[in-house]
Structure 1
Amino acid sequence: MEEILKLRSKLLKVVRGFFELQGFIEVETPLMVPYENPDSNVVNVKVSFSNFSGKKFNWFLHTSPEFFMKRIIWHGIPRIYQISKVFRNGEITESHNVEFTMVEWYRTGADYKKGMEETLELLKECVKAAKKEELSYRGKRSHLHGYISFTVEEAFREFAGVKDIFDEEEVLKVSKEKEYESAFFKLLVDKVEPALAEFQVPVFLYNYPAKFSAMAKVKGNYAERFELYVCGLELANGYTELTDFESYKKKFFEKGKQAVDKGFLKLLKEKPLPSCEGVALGFDRVLMLITGKKIHEVIPFSTKKLINELILPNF
């Protein structure tokens, strides 16, 4: 445990130093919020509390500090970052933990290409501080001397045999699925991601189909969104961010979530978010790549370990 704690401490200092040198302000936002994540693929952990009068509130632990950080950007702070605990229900694997640490940042006046550049620079600083020559995960190895990038269209053509990722009928036929979304992600997980793991340098996957834009701006039929893979492990997700009220309102309500971020929508109705890029990076996964360990081995008291304590005998 001591080795991991020392490494975590060192890399947290590296992250803070990296952003402070570029004029970013470190911020804190609520962990416990009255709003759900609008993405139907991400499930919040629910939490209940009461006030002194006994009134009960059913809220959520946040899955990302995204929308409160965007409120800060809206108020005119141009560069912010946060190192935050986040929570995602149902996520327990060798690379997922219900509670994990995310590094998230926003910069006004920039787009997702700047986010790609920053993400790689930050990763290099962490690896340098750890005095490592290469990274590893599941037997795959990677160095940081260069990188490769593929559009999603290029990657699906080369690794999944899909000539046109925007042709839903072709994607359904190749995947043998019945719905485009499930077909897309089946091919991504079964064909594309294993192929990306074979590259011995970081790989950027970018320009996602508009249907999978999340909170990214859309141009034509693709979204200005990227994900970074190292040794086949997804490490970061970044966008050129949406800025207008109507786009966010549609995103918040189209998935059928009931508890939507009314406070953020209220601000956007007054004026749009400044043009900006945003990136979320899994801090624990950086440690995984540096040490070659699984996530529950780099988080001192992981969800998996605590679940295992439940079978201990009574004392």
Structure 2
Amino acid sequence: MSQDPNLSTSPTFDKSPYAPTMSLAMARQRAQMLASIRQFFAQREVLEVQTPLLSQAGNTDTFLQSVSANVTYQDKPCRYYLHTSPEFAMKRLLASWQVAMYQICPVFRDNEIGSRHNIEFTMLEWYQPHYELSDIADELAQLLEALYGYPVIMNHYRYVDAFMDFVGIHPLTASIDALQAVAEDKGLPVFNTSGRLDEQPSNEKIDSENSRQDWLDLLFSHSVEPNLGFDLPTLITEYPPATAALAKTAIDKDGNLVAKRFELYIDGIEIANAYDELADGSALRERFEQDNALRQQHDLPVMPIDEHLLAACDDLPPCSGIAVGIDRLLMVITGTKSLQEVIAFSSGRA
């Protein structure tokens, strides 16, 4: 994506120890982007909502680590969790109110530091009742058009096709041994038997289906992601079923089970993640319990399951939802290279 030539991409940072890493000019651009997003949804009569940052439940996803907080509730010490996204609480609202809604809020993910990561970042999330994934993709394109100021065409690229083009192996049918061999051939770090990355290569094989997804994620992040979204914003669709999280699954045109979700990439950066939402409390409970079992295998804390969300599933309308990383979106719109340039204070300076 080419950037607006009128946008400044070379901010001058104040070197004083208290100063922000974001310039005043960038702060104004950020404020304008947030105002434009709110105007976009107001014109479509999508309700802006606000849900708690703290929850008694946590995210069970193995690869999303919640930030815990010790609080006192009714004079008793309790452990709460800062949300990794507003998804669970928003679905409870959606089950009760049955209307389209959005939220812009800070979210928190532990141990996320880097040029594209921060422990605290800003997320836009919205839900549209009775929308298919194609409908939410169209609305995403309209939002990008409003923010870029010109029509946006998006490339649709199946996960299988992208993987075969850039990795050279079929991700849904290849054996774990084959995936490991390709990773080693590419000189990528390998996993030990617990599913963790080793600093040095190892010949130990991984025999669990969960670890199979580890290999796919490793190969995708190193060999596929860096090539996506440079000519056109790119939607990667039909992910492996192990990545379904809270999405429905379906059979693709080749007869393989896939997750009904997509991710948006611009300039090699993941910007958005969308689901055709699964509204089946018993199926979600099974997934959460499987997540926690996997967390135990990885020596990660077991997370309390959100019983309120499971109860709300019975009343959740058919819908699609999407989460957009506001900070990363501002990065690609302005052509900046580091998250520090588009947020006031990174976690290291907070």
Q: Which residue, out of 229, 235, 245, partners 2:271?
A: 235
Q: Which of residues 201, 207, 212 in structure 2 aligns to 1:180?
A: 212
Deviation of 1:174 (Å): 2.6
Q: Check if 1:99 corresponds to 2:120.
A: yes
**Aligned alpha-carbon RMSD (Å):** 1.7
Summarize the alignment of residues 94-133 of structure 1 with structure 2, pairs less than 5 Å apart.
Answer: 94-128=115-149
Which position in structure 1 is the counterpart of 2:200? none
Tell me the equivalent position of 1:303: 347
Paired residue type of 1:120: A
Aligned counterpart in structure 2 of residue 157 of structure 1, from 164, 174, 177 = 164
Q: Separation in 2 of the partners of 1:147 and 1:263? A: 36
Amino acid in structure 2 at the alignment position of 1:273? L
Shift of 1:171: 3.1
Query: Helix, strand or coil for the counterpart of 1:238?
Result: strand
User: What does the per-residue CA deviation read over 1:262-311, in whole Å, with 9 as the maximum and x for residues that have no partner?
Assistant: 1122233xx242110000000111111122221111101221333xxxxx
Unpaired runs of at least 5, structure 1: 134-143, 307-315
* Residue 255 of structure 1 pairs with residue 255 of structure 2: no
Residue equivalent to 2:261: 225
Q: 1:276 and 2:276 equivalent?
A: no
- With structure 1 as the length reference, what TM-score do the two structures score? 0.87
User: Partner letter of residue 310 of structure 2?
Assistant: L
Q: Is this contact kept in 1: 2:180–2:215, CA < 8 A? A: yes
Written as runs of structure 1 = structure 2, the 5 A alignment for 1:12-23 is 12-23=34-45
The offset of 1:164, in angstroms, is: 4.9
Aligned partners of 1:57 and 1:208: how far apart in 2?
37
Tell me the amino acid that sits aligned with residue 122 of structure 2.
Answer: T
Write out per-residue CA displacement over residues 75-117 of structure 1, whole angstroms, 9 at most, x where no aligned residue. Answer: 1322000001100000011001111110000001012222222
Question: Given the alignment, which residue of 1, 7, 10 partners 2:32?
Answer: 10
Instruction: Tell me which residue corresponds to 1:309.
Output: none
> Is structure 2 residue 121 aligned with structure 1 residue 86?
no
Match of 1:211 among 239, 242, 262: 242
* Residues 91, 312 of structure 2: 8 Å contact kept: no
Amino acid at match of 1:228: L
Q: Distance in 1 between matches of 2:59 and 2:173?
A: 26
SS at match of 1:187: helix
Is residue 179 of structure 2 the alignment partner of residue 171 of structure 1?
A: yes
> Which ranges of 4 or more aligned residues in structure 1 deviate by more than 6 Å?
none
Contact (CA 8 Å) 1:119, 1:236: kept in 2 or not?
no
Contact in 2 for aligned 1:115/1:239 (Cα 8 Å): no
Letter in structure 1 aligned against 2:308 = G
Post-superposition shift, 1:186?
1.2
User: Which residue of the other structure, out of 292, 297, 307, is the alignment partner of 2:335?
Assistant: 292
CA distance in 1, matches of 2:69, 2:268: 34
Between 1:27-36 and 1:167-176, the stretch displaced more is 167-176
Alignment of 1:201 onto 2:232? yes
2:335 corresponds to which letter in structure 1? G
Secondary structure, in 3 states, of the residue corresponding to 2:97? coil
- Alignment partner of 2:224 out of 165, 173, 192: 192
Measured after TM superposition, the shift of residue 147 of structure 1 is: 2.5
Secondary structure of the residue aligned to 1:242 is coil
> Conserved in 2, the CA contact under 8 Å of 1:35 and 1:260?
yes
One-letter code of the match for 2:316?
A: L
* Preserved contact between residue 245 and residue 272 of structure 1 (Cα < 8 Å): no
**1:267 aligned onto 2:309:** no
In terms of mean alpha carbon deviation, does 116-125 or 276-285 score higher? Answer: 116-125
Maintained 8 Å contact 2:144/2:152: no
Using CA pairs under 8 Å that are at least 6 residues apart, name the structure with larger relative contact order, 1 or 2.
2
Deviations 1:21-48 (A, max 9, x none): 1121000100011111121100011111
How many percent of aligned residue pairs carry the same amino acid? 33
SS at match of 2:344: coil
CA distance in 2 between counterparts of 1:145 and 1:81 reads 22
TM-score (normalised: structure 2): 0.78
Give the total of aligned pairs. 288
Distance in 2 (CA, whole Å) between partners of 1:126 and 1:40 is 33
Tell me how far apart the structure 2 counterparts of residues 14 and 223 of structure 1 sit (CA, whole Å): 32
